[in-house]
Structure 1
């Protein structure tokens, strides 16, 4: 099973602001849907609550410390290891890690691919993607997009693949 992170971040690694996304990027939301359709998605509780509901066509795995937290139509687990085990047991081929900051941090070493939306702006975010060594990653695809009426900022879709040791 491939472990992939799916993240949009600004020039300062900003990913969130006041519990939501700090931008409006319709093309990025469409790509999110296309990439994740039919797959398991791992999110932290706060990220799930910012989304507000289970996403159609995807199986959401919510990671939370709260043992009583339950959401109809979603799996609730209490560790990243438990989320990975569940997805693997259900036959997942590519597991998407979709935030928030703590979940990204805890899974970065396990991640083989990062589907990055590089937002070309400073969104004045208050939540950030963890620091990571870009030298350990190879950009295998890049697709730039201009700002327009549906996309607040210019951005580039980048596929980062972890370089193999040796």
Structure 2
């Protein structure tokens, strides 16, 4: 299953100049806990913004640059979203971690979204795609106030696509 994972501000901003808008320690811990042991999917620019290979995760990089190569067993490069989707194995979890065009491209295939909603507005040049909230069910929600460890209030929301949620509910009752 494909999952989108992102931290967004009140305007759906996700980044500025190739960097996160802010650092919330618990969000980074959640990201690591959710994605460790799974494959993460990202665009080339997102990959190049990382400090290196993220441990315990296979990296899929999507780029239109045909000559783009990485000789590392932790990385697979694809040149289209369609090729990635065709290569994914059923009953396995994949996390799309950015950037904006990757979120937009994989949204139609996503089973769920793990969104950290930050109660602030930042200057951003990159945005998470708008989605129809009515098409998604809030499966989990945790709220956190600003405190001495976190400058901003935020919440962890897990959205599940309604049609898939309902289908899974129906098949589990058979």
User: TM above 0.5, one fold?
Assistant: yes
Tell me the residue number matched to 2:111: 112
Question: Are residues 50 and 148 of structure 1, via their aligned partners in 2, closer, same or farther at CA, if it must alter by over 3 Å?
Answer: farther
**Alpha-carbon shift at residue 115 of structure 1 (Å):** 0.6
Q: TM-score, normalised by structure 2?
A: 0.88
Q: TM-score, normalised by structure 1?
A: 0.92
Question: Are residues 64 and 163 of structure 1, via their aligned partners in 2, closer, same or farther at CA, if it must alter by over 3 Å?
Answer: same
Tell me the residue number matched to 1:21: 20
Tell me the residue number matched to 1:79: 80
Moved runs in structure 1, 4+ residues, more than 4 A? none
**Alpha-carbon shift at residue 146 of structure 1 (Å):** 2.2
Tell me the residue number matched to 1:60: 59
Count, aligned residues: 163
Could you give the per-residue CA deviations for residues 51-106 of structure 1, whole angstroms, max 9, x where no partner exists? 13111100000000111212223111111122233332xx7611111110000001
The reply on whether 1:131 has 2:130 as its aligned counterpart is: yes
Partners of 2:91 and 2:61 lie apart in 1 by 16
**Alpha-carbon shift at residue 149 of structure 1 (Å):** 4.2
Of the two structures, which has the highest relative contact order with CA contacts closer than 8 Å and spacing of 6 or more? 1
**Alpha-carbon shift at residue 150 of structure 1 (Å):** 3.9
**Alpha-carbon shift at residue 148 of structure 1 (Å):** 3.3
Could you give the per-residue CA deviations for residues 128-162 of structure 1, whole angstroms, max 9, x where no partner exists? 01111111001111011123344332110001010
Bigger Cα Rg: 2
SS in 2 for 1:98: strand
CA RMSD of aligned residues (A): 1.6
User: Does 144-153 or 9-18 show the bigger shift?
Assistant: 144-153
